[in-house]
Amino acid sequence: MTSDIHRDTHPDRWRTLVLLATAELLGMSLWFAASAVSAQYQARWHLSPSETGWLTTVVQVGFVAGTATSALLNLADVVPSRRLFALSAVVGAAANAGLLAADAYAAALLCRFLTGVALAGVYPPAMKMIATWFRARRGLAVGTIVGALTIGKATPYLVHAFPGAGIRPVVAATSAAALVGALLVGVGYRDGPYPFPPRPFSWGLVGTIVRDRPWRLAMGGYLGHMWELYAAWTWLPVFIAASGFAAGRASALAFAALAVGGLGCVWGGLAADRRGREWLVVVSMAASGACAMLIGLTFARSAGALVVVALAWGFFVIADSAQFSVLVTESVPPHAVGTALTVQTSIGFLLTMVSIQLVPLLAARVGWRWAFVFLAVGPALGIASIRRLARSRGA
């Protein structure tokens, strides 16, 4: 470990981490721009709960389409990451701004889909970019990036918490933020001292990744994590509002519950570098799964208990996310890192579409008190997969 630590000595590494984290925060603010004002869209177009959920789900669909295309074409390993990030953030900002002109539900869904496609060039490349600057502290570095994007995704709820902030302020603010993020990376970023070697396009690269057993075990844990994560992020704000909080307080608590995950990611990176990635993942999934089972018991009963469990869930549900990506960078050949990360996120986000749509169906059938319990299945299965990975690595 000591020799590895001495390798992370470039004087610009921390400045680059701050720059990338800031750009990621700003760029990923696009994700929940429509979700934060879903109540207004629901009233405007008389949407059912399922249709309202699609304002988020269709972003996942677009993200999956974007990452699948990127993986098949090896874009993350062929196109320079700086260019891919900056261009994608600009396209995402434009697609998001299209919501302001959307005069029907279908048009809004199209804008959301295109936003998701664009974000496929913002999220995975950033993890590869920061990995070129860190080796020994890669867990902390990637954890910081994921923490930044977590806060970014929560940002629309913060904007919406201001009195009178409806659709237009939220959408305009997030599009402007993404443009600033594109500018930061386009002008200020350069690859670090540990770049991944470029590779010509290869149709067989995805197959090479999938045949790697450590990658598959890391993927099993990641899928369990993703089964829970986006369903929690999408519906926890609705759950909070339905519990009786006033609109402004509900948006503020929703922002806090999502944004606290940024601290969780930094803690997760520090703990993973010190105790091991597998240890951190198991602890985080056990804690978040417990919160998924407990939070319904606070519904319309104790506002204080709801706040505590919501913040704990927000902290732990994302604390391990970056470590799955780090496990991938450590388990595949260096020339395949970008494509491996893209395949991982593509499959994971495809799964989130199922759990996001199941929550409102369960809430309608059994009530909010039990709607989140089934999400705990994901962490349970994820823990089993990561324990197998730990045994195979001797961790």
What does the pLDDT look like over 232-250, one tens digit per residue?
Answer: 999 999 999 999 888 889 9
User: What one-character-per-residue DSSP string does 245-279 give?
Assistant: --HHHHHHHHHHHHHHHHHHHHHHHHHHHHH-HHH
Query: Which has more pLDDT, 137 or 221?
Result: 221
Q: What does DSSP assign to residue 368?
A: T
Residues 252, 242: Cα–Cα separation, whole Å? 14
- Judge whether 31 lies within some domain: yes
What range defines the domain where residue 280 resides? Answer: 12-188+213-393
- Where b means 16+ CB within 10 Å and e means fewer, 206-225 reads bebbeebeebebbbbbbbbb
Angle ∠(158,160,161) on CA atoms, nearest 5? 65
Residues 145-187 have pLDDT tens digits of: 988 999 999 999 999 988 888 899 999 999 999 999 999 999 9
pLDDT at 142 over 90: no
CATH number (domain holding residue 316): 1.20.1250.20
- Domain membership of residue 207 (yes or no) is no
Residue 128 resides in a domain: yes
Whether the Cβ atoms of residue 334 and residue 342 lie closer than 8 Å to each other: no
143: left (phi over 0), alpha (psi -120 to 50) or beta: alpha
* Number of domains forming the structure of the chain: 1
> Would 201 be classed as within a structural domain?
no
Q: For residue 282, which of 215, 353, 217 has the smallest C-alpha distance?
A: 217
CB 236 within 8 A of CB 254: yes
**61 lies in some domain:** yes
Spatial CA neighbour of 329 closest among 321, 337, 320, 318? 337
Residue 208 is assigned to a structural domain of this protein = no
Transcribe 90-148 into DSSP letters. HHHHHHHHGGGG--SHHHHHHHHHHHHHHHTTTHHHHHHHHHTT-STTHHHHHHHHHHH
Residue 102 lies in a domain: yes
Residue 4 lies in a domain: no
By three-state DSSP, how is residue 17 classified?
A: helix
Digit-coded pLDDT (tens) for 284-336? 999 999 999 999 999 988 899 999 999 999 999 999 988 887 787 777 777 77
Global pTM value: 0.80
Place of tokens 């045949």: 211
CA dist., res. 236 & res. 316, Å (int) = 14
Distance CA 64, CA 103 (A): 26
Greatest extent of the chain over all pairs of C-alpha atoms, in Å? 61
Q: How far apart (Å, rounded) are the C-alpha atoms in residues 303 and 61?
A: 34
* pLDDT over 50 at 1, yes or no: no
